Amino acid sequence: MSGRLLRLVCTAAVAAGTVLAPLPAAAVPDPQAPGQRPVAELLTDLQTLYRDAEQATETYNATEEKLKKQRAEVDRLDAELARARLTLHDSRGAAGRLAREQYQNSTAISPYVRLLLARDPQHALDERHVIGQLARERAETVGRLVGSEKKSDGLAREARKALDGQLTLAARQKKDQDDVRKRLADIEKLLTSLTPDQLTALTDAEKTTTDKAQQKLVTSGALGDDTREPSREGDRALRYAVQQIGKPYEWGAEGPKTYDCSGLTSEAWGHAGTPIPRTSEEQWAELPRVPLNELRPGDLVIYFPEATHVALYLGDGKIVQAPRTGETVQVSPVASYPILGAVRPDSLPKGARGTARPAPTDPHPPTPHSPNGD
């Protein structure tokens, strides 16, 4: 845990969009004797709460992305429906003119009788040809009217269905939003129950745990020689991420002033000219995987079994990440959290991006340390 834990006490609720009053001692996780709880136990609780909050955040992000696409679909259908209705209006106008012309030119004498009685049969035949052409044009007018009506009705049904989907997603987004805020409130509840000494002990304990995990990972050779150069796109993505260092973490944020973990990685690669999925789960599921011993700067390192955290690999065993509520975009050890694996956004040709490729090695390598700091 970074040295910003004390500041977290004041900022966790603000990041969640709510301000919560301090809770009485009876509401803390262990009301019997919070000051007597082992630091390791407190660290486990806090890390679990952070992990739950980040998982809820990524769920919210996924719903937000679906809602954006659904809104775009509703807008597209509305525009297409407006054009179809204009075409229908024109078709109905043409059909009305046709009906008036037929009424004004109606006669009880059939075209065949008029041909027999004509003084100039050739002229009558020419006239008959014109009449036939007009008849075909009239049939086409009626056909266009029928087609326009069918298209307009079909688009109206699609637009209603798309709008219903948008409303459903909006309701789900509200639920996801409430879940994130609840998780962040749980974090604040635990932090406000601790003494300054406990907060300091937590900071030291987490740093010690991370240092041990980092040492174990580096000395194991799992990162290979770690001298690989980034690709041109990877370098651009990494430069963008480095420029964001010091900006606050905010759940659901994609910049330019605040970021969450996948907001930073997706924006970085988007600015490099390689759009990638918004959430860490989608990045893990859809981007080509690479083994840790082939990591190069710009690759994405995915954390936790549920793929709920992501960072950009900087090289030399370091990452650039937006860690969690109350902290800022920063450089951290690659073993800050349990590693699930790594992906490389620019491994596929542009036309094939967004398609998952099987991992060249075990997609679930041993993690440097457990979520509980073991």
Integer Cα distance of 307 and 318 in angstroms? 19
Instruction: Please give the Cα distance from 207 to 53 (Å, whole number).
Output: 21
In terms of C-beta density within 10 A (0-12 exposed, 13-18 middle, 19 or more buried), how is residue 260 classed?
Answer: buried
At 170, the pLDDT band (50, 70, 90 cuts) reads confident
The answer to whether the beta carbons of residues 337 and 304 sit under 8 Å apart is yes
For the chain, the average pLDDT equals: 73
Share of the chain above pLDDT 90, in %: 32
Cβ atoms of 261 and 309 closer than 8 Å: yes
Of 163 and 252, the one with more pLDDT = 252
CA distance 58 to 316: 28
Which of 59-63, 87-91, 104-108, 234-238 has the highest average model confidence (pLDDT)? 234-238
For tokens 């893990």, name the residue: 284
Local structure of 27: helix, strand or coil = helix
Residue-wise pLDDT for 25-44, tens only, equals 334 444 444 456 777 777 77
Q: Which two tokens stand for residue 342?
A: 């790594």
| pLDDT tens string 291-327 | 999 999 999 999 999 899 999 999 999 999 999 888 9
Most confident option among 60-74, 165-179, 195-209:
195-209
Most distant CA pair in the chain, distance:
120
Q: Which residue has the higher pLDDT, 138 or 151?
A: 151
Q: Are 261 and 253 in contact (CB under 8 A)?
A: no
Residues 6 or more apart whose CB falls under 8 angstroms from that of 316 comprise 226
**Residue 89 scores a pLDDT above 80:** no
Alpha carbon distance 188, 202 (integer Å) = 15
Q: Cα torsion at 354, 355, 357, 363 (round to 10°)? A: 60
Q: Which of 357, 309, 358 is nearest to 337 (CA)?
A: 309
309 strand-pairing partners: 303
> CB of 77 within 8 A of CB of 152?
no
Residue 138 pLDDT grade (very low, low, confident, very high; cuts 50, 70, 90) = low
Structure tokens at 301: 């390192």
Asked if the model's pLDDT at residue 257 lies above 80, the reply is yes
Residue 337: closest CA among 356, 322, 359: 322
Q: End-to-end distance of the chain based on CA atoms, in angstroms?
A: 15
- Global pTM value: 0.59
The helix or strand, by DSSP H or E, that contains position 257, with its residue range, turns out to be none
Burial class (CB in 10 A: 0-12, 13-18, 19+), 102: exposed
pLDDT at residue 92, as a whole number: 59
